Homo-oligomer: A and B are copies of this chain.
Amino acid sequence: MNHAAIKRSVKEIAEHVRATVHGDGRIEVTGVSSIASASPGDLVFVEDEKNLRLALQSPAAAVIAGAFAAGNTASKPLILSSQPRLAFARAAQFFSASSKREPGIHPSAVVHPSARLGKDAVVGEHVVIGESVVIGEATRIGAASVIGSGVRLGRHCQLYPNVTIYPGAQLGDRVIVHAGAVLGSDGFGYVRDKDTGRYEKFPQIGRLEIEDDVEIGANTTIDRGALEVTRIARGTKIDNLVHIGHNCQIGEDVVIAAQTGFSGSIVVENNVVLGGQVGVGEHARICEGVMLGGQGGVLPKKILRGKGVAFWGTPAQPLRQYLKQLAAVARLAKK
């Protein structure tokens, strides 16, 4: 994929990603790609010898590789890194340049006069920004997004189109919110009147706080706290169509795959990894470093514990134990 406007030398890239050049550092790169789709000018990356051979045969201009490639006499310049995939990810940022759009407020946007916008902020077409909103430097608000009163967005955030943020929510710096996501909506809480049998709304007036470097997928919904706060801590990555209920506390560097759902008041500690379509019951706790496989289910109030321990199934069990059960059932059915 070429982005003709941007050119970087192999040397510049290597310096940016803190890697070493092996070969001609003056060669210019104009984009990044996979090996299979590489065009002349592209930078690719490899993590093993086999892919290195393919990369060198491809039209790519240069290759990021692991230390294993050091002894190689390559026909293309190599950028050697102990984490080649990471180096590639960082190099790619050079060429994304995202919206080169001019800073400023599109004339079709409706911005409350009390809102404060940081330097170089971008407010897209038909955006609505409520009373007392504060938007940090270089933050970009995608078209048709609606930012409720009192919302605070940090610096260098990117909101894609059609995002809704309810009043009072707070986002840190470099938060990415994909299209259609809803942040700070009312939680699902009712009180049943014993006399009439009807449900009445329990107050959903708490806050939503999202820390730095969080990414939130398309059409994901995160509810505000009922009376307290829902919090998503630094660096957590949330895929599409995820639901996070009121009062949840999601830790740092948590990975949550698509369509996973959390009911209320759940604690997820740091470095947890959750597969897709996982369901977690209210007041459960998923401790530091736990991994839970796709479609797994955690019962209300349950605690999953064990750094690096994998769980699976509903109700979630240590993977080993669950696989034994699956095998036992398979044998039983064959009898």
Q: Which residues of A contact B (CB under 8 A)?
A: 1, 32-34, 36-37, 82-83, 85-86, 88-90, 92, 96, 106, 108, 110, 124-126, 128, 142-144, 146, 148, 160-162, 164, 166, 176, 178-180, 182, 185-186, 188, 190-194, 197-203, 205-206, 213, 215, 217-219, 221, 223, 226-228, 235, 237, 239-241, 243, 245, 253, 255, 257-259, 261, 263, 271, 275-277, 279, 281, 294-295, 297, 314-315, 321, 324-330, 332-333, 335
**Chain A interface main SS type:** loop
Closest residue on chain B to residue A281 by CB atoms: B294
Q: Do A332 and B329 touch across chains, with their CB atoms under 8 A apart?
A: yes
- Chain B residues whose CB sits within 8 angstroms of the CB of A185 once the complex forms: 160, 178-179, 217-218, 240
Which of B92, B178, B194, B259 is A182 in contact with, Cβ under 8 Å? Answer: B178
* Assembled-state Cα–Cα distance A328/B102 (Å): 65
- Chain B residues whose CB sits within 8 angstroms of the CB of A215 once the complex forms: 201
Q: Do A235 and B198 touch across chains, with their CB atoms under 8 A apart?
A: yes
Q: Do A227 and B32 touch across chains, with their CB atoms under 8 A apart?
A: yes
How many identical subunits does the complex contain?
A: 3
Q: Do B276 and A279 touch across chains, with their CB atoms under 8 A apart?
A: yes
| Closest CB pairs A-B (n = 8) | A92-B203, A164-B179, A146-B161, A34-B227, A182-B218, A218-B221, A325-B333, A221-B240
Closest residue on chain B to residue A197 by CB atoms: B253
- Residue pairs across A and B with Cβ atoms less than 8 A apart, 28 shown, are A86-B192, A86-B193, A88-B202, A89-B202, A89-B203, A90-B200, A108-B108, A110-B126, A124-B128, A143-B146, A164-B179, A180-B182, A185-B218, A185-B240, A188-B237, A188-B258, A197-B253, A219-B221, A241-B243, A243-B258, A257-B263, A258-B261, A259-B261, A261-B276, A263-B276, A281-B294, A295-B297, A328-B333
